Amino acid sequence: MSKNVVIIGANRGIGLELVKQYKAAGHHVIAMCRKSSKALSESGCEIVENIDVTDDALVENIAASVPVASIDILIHNSGILDPDTINSIDFESMRRHFDVNSLGALRTVLGLQSKLKNGSKIGIVSSRVGSIDDNTGSNNYAYRVSKTAVNMVGKCLSIDLKDAGIAVALLHPGYVRTEMTKHNGHMDVDESARGLIKRMEELSLDTSGIFVHTSGEVLNW
């Protein structure tokens, strides 16, 4: 059965690959981003540009930009990564990471809440580096902190939306070879996206609030 799938942050990398795979599976895909790319424009999906996840007004106006009455699957993929170390911490960069990576997800979910229904699913692309228990390498303070914060955002949403029949997952895509990682990594975007789609298929109210690797491994907070 065709589903309405909305992907935030869809013009490149994992977001773009999710668009392609959901579209190939026969779903109605709406790709939302600040600015489209050539590859996204060629994907055949519906594209909504000028979506800035750092804009508080998104909470009030994003729903009007979605050309469907309801959303079956919502995936928030927008994010930034500017590397740092203890000797190069930039607090303005940390605030920017928090604004994009943490609050961005909260803004989009709140803004699209009216489009969600019983049975809808939300996937927030997080990262294993946001796990406190798993942190053995330090560095990337801004990115790590923002991903830990978005994990809490997603966990809270999973509790508050459960009575409405809406399930939420925090998704770790793996270490993926993308522009964000300067094409370093352990897997390509197609493998990562396939796993994320499978995790969204498996997601239910019973597992809502899960922090899960694209491989299916449940991750520690």
For the chain, the structural domain boundaries read 4-213
For the segment 116-146, what is each residue's pLDDT rounded down to a tens digit? 999 999 999 999 999 999 999 999 999 999 9
For the segment 17-33, what is each residue's pLDDT rounded down to a tens digit? 999 999 999 999 999 99
For the segment 58-87, what is each residue's pLDDT rounded down to a tens digit? 999 999 999 999 999 999 999 999 999 999
pLDDT bucket at 184, cuts 50 / 70 / 90: confident
- Give dist(CA 45, CA 21) in Å, integer: 11
User: Residues 20, 31: contact at Cβ < 8 Å?
Assistant: no
- Give dist(CA 80, CA 169) in Å, integer: 20
Select 4-213's CATH number: 3.50.50.60, 3.40.50.880, 1.20.1250.20, 3.40.50.720. Answer: 3.40.50.720
Global confidence as pTM:
0.95
